[in-house]
Amino acid sequence: MSIGLVDILDVKPAWQSRHTIKALAKDGKSLAVKGLADLKAVHPNDYKKIMKVIRLVAENDRVQNADHVKQGKQHNDVYEMRGGQARLFFFYTPDAKQVVVCTNYYWKAKKSEDEQDAAFERCEKLRAAYLKSIE
């Protein structure tokens, strides 16, 4: 099993002045890349909204506007990007490399805290697994 980081489609190198944006992949497969590709095909407007937030995350130390980025309640090290109904979960690597790792994605069809909590939980588990893999 190979765990690594891959580039995200349409994210420009010029945006990444503060943080490098990557997606978590296992054996060359990524939930975040797949989710964003589907979003781009089906909901192009929400795709642009989430890309805007990705750019904000890339260019700022920490995004303070909670309309765009929300920190996990149970897990403080994981965050949610919000663009329309699209939700992309990520964490900042704890080292000095300043990488943002996008882990999982979901489409918020209706207001559901359970679904959000589960997505934060999944992000935290993927974070722990990734950090363990690079030890």
Residues that bind another protein (CB under 8 A): 1, 6, 9-10, 12, 14, 17, 23, 25-31, 33-34, 37, 40, 48-49, 51-53, 55-56, 59-60, 63-65, 67-68, 104, 114, 118, 121-122, 125-126, 129
Task: Name the minimum Å distance from CB 59 to another protein.
Answer: 7
Closer to another protein by Cβ: residue 24 or 93: 24
Task: Name the minimum Å distance from CB 94 to another protein.
Answer: 19
Closest CA to 59 of 51, 67, 47: 51
Closest CA to 46 of 55, 56, 34, 36: 36
Residues in CB range of 22: below 8 A, 6 or more apart: 5, 6, 7, 8, 99, 100, 101, 102
Task: Name the minimum Å distance from CB 120 to another protein.
Answer: 12
Closer to another protein by Cβ: residue 63 or 78: 63
Closer to another protein by Cβ: residue 60 or 108: 60
DSSP designation for 29? B
Is residue 59 classed as helix, strand or coil in its secondary structure? helix
Closer to another protein by Cβ: residue 66 or 94: 66
Is residue 32 classed as helix, strand or coil in its secondary structure? helix
Is 88 within 8 Å of 105 (Cβ atoms)? yes
Task: Name the minimum Å distance from CB 109 to another protein.
Answer: 18
